[in-house]
Every structure is written in structure tokens, then in C-alpha cells.
Amino acid sequence: MNSLFSESNVAKASVKKNALPSEPGVWLFIFGDLLVFGLLFGLYAHESGLQKLVFLQSQAQLDIHYGAANTLVLLSGSYFAALALLAARHGEVEKLTRFLMFTFFSGAVFLVIKAFEWSAKLGAGVTISTDSFFMYYFVLTGLHLVHVLIGMGLIGELWRQSRQGIGGGKFLKNLEGGAIYWHMVDLLWVVLFPLLYLMK
């Protein structure tokens, strides 16, 4: 066992009932982001109500299998992130690094699927300026994609630190923050998928 979990009492404190995971600032950022995305979802729904035919015809051009596959990929990423945090709290360094790698990999798979989807659209001449639906489609999925990239950066850095044995209570708090961010990225896609691909 390396020094990664020498302050495991901090880890135990985090799982006590009514204890706040990570830091208050992380939650402030998370709920700020949720509020912004909630407003964007509302703008999309409002515009959809004003231009029903345009939105229905353009939405029909989306392949729901891409969206559904990416939902399953991100849910699996969240699963690995939760397992990584559990491993860290139990001082299981090998499992921690493995699950963080799997989490990062799920983000990469999401990017590949998104690249296929976007390139098919752009290849068919569909762009952000095609109509209102596709403006929202590219802006919302693009903003979400930026969040996936930031999440991959955070998870990648945590993976690097876990491999180097950088640890202690601060590492565990950062790991909690990184995992919470990753779950938020997953959660946003859980709403975006039905909103953009399924709801008529």
C-alpha cells in the first residue's frame, strides 16, 4: 500500500450520513451549470412549441441509435467513476487506477460516436444554420461535448495522480469532485437524449 490513503479517516468522514461530498464550491458550480442547462432546455422547448413542423421534420433526420448508444456509454462511465471512488475509499489503488482509466475511455467512446454522428450530418449538408432545430441540436450537443472534454481532463489528471501515488485527504476530496462532475455530465445527457431525439 502506498501513501495514497494514509489519511483514510478523511475518506470515511465523506461517507458519513449528512456529510457533504467534495467541497461546497463544487456543488455551487454543479447547480449553477444545471440551472444554465435547465434554461437552455426551456428555450429549446419554447422554440419547439413555436415551430412544431420544422422541429418534427428535422428531428426525424436524427438517428436515435447514436443518442441511445451514447446514453449507455455515459451511464457506464458513471458506473466506473462510482467504482473508482469506492476503490479509493477502500485503499485499493490498482482498482482505482483501472476504473479511472475505464471512465476516461467511456468519454473517448462518446467522442467517437459523436464524431460519426456529426460527420454524417455535416456530410449530408446539415449544419448549425440549416434551421432552428439544428441550431439548438449543434449548440446543445456542442456545449455538452465541451463538458465531456473537461470531464476527461479531470479524470485523466486524477488517474495520473493515482498512478504517481499522490494522495491523502485532499486527493480523495478532489476525486469526489471529479466524480460528481462526471455524473453531472451523464445526468445532462440523460435529459438531452430524450429531449432532442425522442420527444415530439
| Residues near another protein, by CB under 8 A | 15-21, 27, 31, 34-35, 38, 41-42, 45-46, 48-49, 51-56, 64, 68, 71-72, 75-76, 78-79, 81-83, 86, 176, 179-180, 183-184, 186-187, 190-191, 193-195, 198-200
Report, in Å, the least distance between residue 36 CB and another protein.
12
Report, in Å, the least distance between residue 75 CB and another protein.
5
10 Å CB burial of residue 143 (0-12, 13-18, 19+) is middle
Task: Specify the residue, 45 or 122, whose C-beta has the smaller distance to another protein.
Answer: 45
Q: Residue 114 has which C-alpha cell? A: 459523436
Task: Specify the residue, 9 or 18, whose C-beta has the smaller distance to another protein.
Answer: 18
Distance of alpha carbon 48 from alpha carbon 140, whole angstroms: 14
Task: Specify the residue, 1 or 16, whose C-beta has the smaller distance to another protein.
Answer: 16
Report, in Å, the least distance between residue 142 CB and another protein.
20
Task: Specify the residue, 53 or 125, whose C-beta has the smaller distance to another protein.
Answer: 53
- Helix or strand holding residue 16 (H, E): none
**Count of beta carbons in the 10 Å neighbourhood of residue 103:** 28
- Residues, the chain: 200
Rounded to the nearest angstrom, the gap between the alpha carbon of residue 7 and the centroid of all alpha carbons in its chain is 29
Distance of alpha carbon 39 from alpha carbon 15, whole angstroms: 32
Report, in Å, the least distance between residue 164 CB and another protein.
25
